[in-house]
Structure 1
Amino acid sequence: MQTLRAIYENGVFRPLEKLELVEGQSVQLIIDTNPVTPKEMLQLAVEVYEGLSETDIDEIEEIALKQNYFFADRTEE
């Protein structure tokens, strides 16, 4: 799956970057007319931690870095 920015001109979408697609390849477009900028994304991430202690933040980040935690069989908990 790829995410890219495009401009809609004259009834067609024009990618703003090079695509690794085969000519005639079918794709599915999801249109987001209000994309989040990198600066806005960073602000949203900061807001997630508001009101949490440093210990809480460290614990959350440690869990997030352990991919096994999300995909392991956790039925025993």
Structure 2
Amino acid sequence: MIQTLDAIYEQGVFRPLTKPEIPDGESVKLIIETSSKLNPEEMLKLAAQVYEGLSEEEINEIEQIAGDRSNFFTGHTP
């Protein structure tokens, strides 16, 4: 059986906005398709989660690597 349901993803759990027509405990396969574009506030919130759980040193190392464009065009000749 295939059903299309709208859901919210919160704290690691998908919460359907309408009750699915399946019994409790039924195994399902989810195919995720995000709907609307994020507003700037939501985008900043998601971006901030990238560094959750990392130390200041780890964050600085990631930022340094991300900012280094010296090998960006390696293998390409102008």
Q: What TM-score do you get using the length of structure 2 for normalisation?
A: 0.46
The structure where helix makes up a greater share of residues is: 1
Superposition TM-score, scaled by structure 1 size: 0.46
